[in-house]
Amino acid sequence: MTKNSESLIVNFEDVPVRRVWDAKKEKWFFSIIDVVSILAQNERPRKYWDDLKRKLKQEGFEVSEKIGQLKMKAEMKP
């Protein structure tokens, strides 16, 4: 699978979700913000994700500090 042969944006129930193919790991990486937007049906998914991470830490769950952001195309605005 090559980057050119796969769409970098897919739709889930008519909502665009950004993704990146890592050929070395042979894995897809999806935008957590796009996924949160769909699952939580929230209009401010970035704030929702930040609040969720903060709440998880307060409840004693380990949230990785090494979560990096992949370069992706800008958010799709309707």
CB 10 within 8 A of CB 19: yes
Asked whether residue 11 is domain-assigned, the answer is yes
**4-44: pLDDT as tens digits:** 445 678 888 788 888 888 889 898 888 888 898 899 988 89
CA distances from 73 to 9, 31, 64 (A): 9, 10, 24
| Confidence (pTM) | 0.65
Helix (H, G, I), strand (E, B) or coil at 43: coil
Domain count, the chain: 1
Asked whether residue 42 is domain-assigned, the answer is yes
Helix (H, G, I), strand (E, B) or coil at 54: helix
- Which range marks the domain in which residue 9 is found? 3-58
**45-66: pLDDT as tens digits:** 889 988 988 898 899 888 776 6
- Taking the chain, what is the end-to-end CA distance rounded to the nearest angstrom? 30
